[in-house]
Each structure stands twice: as structure tokens, then as C-alpha cells.
Amino acid sequence: MNGLIGRKVGMTSVFNEAGKYVAVTVIEAVPNIVTQVKSVDSDGYKALQLAAFEAKEKNTTKALVGHFQAASTTPKKKVVEFRDSSLDKQLGDEIQIADLFKEGDKISAVGVSKGKGFQGVVKRHGFKGVGDATHGQHNRLRAPGSIGASSFPSKVFKGMKMGGRMGNDTVKVKNLVIVKILADKNLMLVKGAVPGHKGSFVIIEK
């Protein structure tokens, strides 16, 4: 699988060739550096390890500083491995947007979704609630209701839909479309929902 490390900038809108108004997400994908080339002989599988976005050396462990120096590059914030990559690249090579993607391509975006904190069943699982028919109770509008039987089986089954932490999960969204590529600015405009908050890292796969 081929891909790049990007960063979500935000959203904007453009007009496509048909003159239609399209909402797009702006992803910054600076040149990625190959920091390790894995092979079947040495590692048991084939992969390319890429790194992107500058980091301060004082905030980087000495082990990683040495790892980056071996690839003749400066410390980076994000390191990702792409298994079974078909790119013929060597240690220290750069990979840019134009090397992998073109306008109209369908891609997948992997990121960490926005954290929502502790949420109830209506927001977390889409429970309908009871509307107005609370029969005089003041706090039953958004309650989950019964969650288990009584004497048998005398427990609540695992996986029951209940309130809990929502968001902050690794999410993969497929079949996003590249509307425009601004190669000189290392930007791509993508139609579709890209997971994560502004400034978060996104792995773009093809």
C-alpha cells in the first residue's frame, strides 16, 4: 500500500469544472522522507517507513535522532510505515504529492476522530428517547431504559449499548476524491469527511 503523511488544515470550498460548488478539506502533505526500507530478507516483510513535519531536536529522543541522521534528515514529528509499498525508493529519498496522487483519484484517510468526552446513549448510539410520554417522570427523556433481565441471566451482556466515552478513535474513511492538487504549496483539496481536528495528522492511502 502506498501513501503519505499529511496534516489537516481545515475546510474551504471551490468550484469544479462543471461549475458546481464543492466543499473540500485542505490537507497539507509536505515532502515525506524515507527513513527506513524494510525487506523480506532482513525484516520478514516489505515496507517503507516515512517521516514528515519538522520537530525540535530537544523534543526528540536520542535514539530517534540517530535514526533520522542515518537517513540524512532532521528530526520529524510523525513516522508511519507503509507495508507492501510498490515505490522503488532508497533511504533518504523524498516522496511528494505528485509522485503518488493526481486530481480525480480516490483515496483513503486515516486519522484520530474528535473526542466528544462521556456521552449518553442518544448522542453516542442514536437512541430515539421517549418523546413526551414520560408518564410524569422528569428525567426519563434521554435514558437508556432496561439493560438486562432479572434472575436469569443475572448479568448485563458485554457490548450492551450504553453511555460512555465517545470519539478519539482511529477512523479510516474510504473513497474520498481529490478535487485539486496545489503541488507548489504541498496542498491537496479533498471532497469528503476527513477524520480529526484541525492540525491533526492524517495518513493518506491509495
**For residue range 83-138, what is the model confidence (pLDDT) as tens digits?**
998 899 999 999 999 999 999 999 999 999 999 999 999 999 999 988 777 788 88
Strands 32-38 and 94-95, how do they pair? antiparallel
Mean pLDDT to the nearest integer, 185-196:
95
How many distinct structural domains can be found in the chain? Answer: 1
Residue 164 contacts residue 111 (beta carbons within 8 Å): no
Burial of 77 (0-12, 13-18, 19+ CB in 10 A): middle
The per-residue pLDDT for 54 is 96
pLDDT for the residue 195: 96
**Domain harbouring 84, CATH code:** 2.40.30.10
Q: Which domain holds residue 146?
A: 3-205
Q: Of residues 169 and 135, which shows the higher confidence score?
A: 169
The answer on pLDDT for 65 being more than 90 is yes
In the predicted model, what is the mean pLDDT of residues 45-66? 96
Distance between CA atoms of residues 76 and 37, nearest Å: 17
Mean of all residue pLDDT scores within the chain:
94
Please indicate whether residue 145 or residue 107 has the higher confidence score (pLDDT). Answer: 107
The whole model's pTM is what? 0.87
